[in-house]
């Protein structure tokens, strides 16, 4: 068994991936519980218009079928109606993306009268964004320790001295597994095949 720089990097990368995923999950849960319901409420007014357009679409489809109007000229109107009926979900996704950008980058968001809620989200989520930033910085510093060490064992000891919990680290087996029989006859390489 041995300690290699590559296995240390993989170990550290896994730890940072887990920590980042945990923070990103917390951020996602915040948006899901605090912001999405507000957007749903603001977009609720579209439901009536969507129902009306859906009804018009159904009537137009019946008109089209009853009169044998099946060419592209008429079908494109049906497609436009159907596109409109998905506007609520599309708008929610677009605005949620904009809100996430504004919150993360401390920008202003002025649509739907959500200014106060967005400012609250910026305040609530700032520690989580800072944690992600700190995780990235720490990962770079730890990778520098691994890179600058002369051996994997030295890097391992340096990381322990610097306070990195290495308890879960598993040393790699430097020996390849023994092969008992090749799947192809070695005469091909030896040149003595008949």
Predicted confidence at residue 75, as pLDDT, reads 78
Encode pLDDT of 55-80 as tens digits: 888 888 888 888 887 777 777 887 88
Task: At 175, list the tokens.
Answer: 């020996």
Beta partners for residue 172, in sequence order: 2
Taking residues 29-57, report their average pLDDT.
91
Confidence of residue 189 (pLDDT cuts 50, 70, 90): low
The DSSP code sequence of 33-96 is: IIIHHHHHHHHTTHHHHHHHHHHHHHHHHHHHHHTT--SHHHHHHHHHHHHHHTHHHHHHHHHH
Predicted confidence at residue 25, as pLDDT, reads 97
Structure pTM?
0.73
Q: What is the DSSP letter of 184?
A: S
Predicted confidence at residue 185, as pLDDT, reads 61
């Amino acid at each position: 068994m041995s300690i290699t720089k590559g296995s240390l990097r993989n170990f550290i990368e896994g730890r940072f991936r887990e920590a980042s995923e945990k923070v990103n999950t917390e951020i996602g849960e915040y948006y899901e519980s605090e912001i999405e319901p507000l957007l749903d409420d603001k977009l609720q007014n579209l439901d009536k218009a969507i129902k009306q357009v859906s009804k018009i679409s159904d009537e137009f489809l019946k008109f089209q079928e009853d009169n044998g109007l099946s060419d592209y000229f008429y079908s494109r109107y049906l497609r436009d109606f159907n596109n409109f009926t998905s506007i609520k979900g599309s708008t929610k996704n677009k605005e949620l993306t904009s809100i996430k950008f504004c919150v993360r980058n401390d920008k202003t968001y002025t649509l739907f009268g959500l200014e106060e809620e967005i400012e609250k989200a910026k305040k609530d989520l700032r520690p989580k964004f800072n944690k992600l930033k700190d995780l990235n910085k720490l990962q770079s510093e730890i990778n520098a320790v691994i890179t600058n060490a002369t051996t994997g064992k030295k890097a391992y000891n340096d990381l322990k001295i610097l306070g990195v919990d290495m308890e879960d680290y598993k040393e790699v087996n430097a020996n390849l597994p023994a092969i008992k029989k090749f799947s192809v006859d070695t005469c091909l390489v030896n040149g003595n095949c008949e």
